[in-house]
């Protein structure tokens, strides 16, 4: 799954790049136990509620459409040369050791 992010070029020193940061509300996890009346199975339902406090985090988006909308919104405040959109791909790597040996011999 690709993650999308934006690097912002420093206006004073164009060689310096930093990840775009945004304010994000800190969420509190609320767990509720619910019993299914048919099976008597107890399930735990987790919901999240905002605490009203915020923190600064690096911006990333999994949805390409939402990422493109954010990029276009940023063009109102930044010049196009200051923004560098990026796609961060995650890779899975399988390493095979001693692959020339047959049947573990």
Question: What are the pLDDT tens digits along the chain (105 aa)?
Answer: 678 999 999 989 989 999 999 999 999 999 999 888 888 888 899 999 999 999 999 999 999 999 999 999 999 988 898 999 988 877 666 666 665 555 555
Predicted structure pTM score: 0.62
Phi-psi bin for 7: left (phi > 0), alpha (psi -120 to 50), beta? beta
Element containing residue 70 per DSSP (H, E): helix 64-74
Q: Comparing C-alpha atoms, which of 57, 2, 3 is closest to residue 26? A: 57
**Contact indicator for 26, 55 with CB cutoff of 8 Å:** yes
């Amino acid at each position: 799954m690709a993650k999308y992010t934006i690097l912002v070029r420093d206006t004073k020193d164009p060689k310096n790049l930093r990840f775009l940061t945004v304010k994000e509300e800190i969420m509190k996890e609320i767990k509720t136990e619910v019993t299914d009346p048919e099976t008597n199975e107890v399930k735990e339902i987790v919901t999240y509620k905002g605490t009203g406090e915020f923190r600064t985090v690096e911006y990333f988006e999994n949805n390409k459409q939402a990422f493109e909308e954010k990029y276009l919104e940023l063009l109102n405040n930044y010049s196009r040369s200051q923004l560098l959109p990026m796609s961060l791909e995650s890779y899975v790597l399988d390493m095979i050791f001693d692959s020339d040996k047959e049947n573990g011999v």
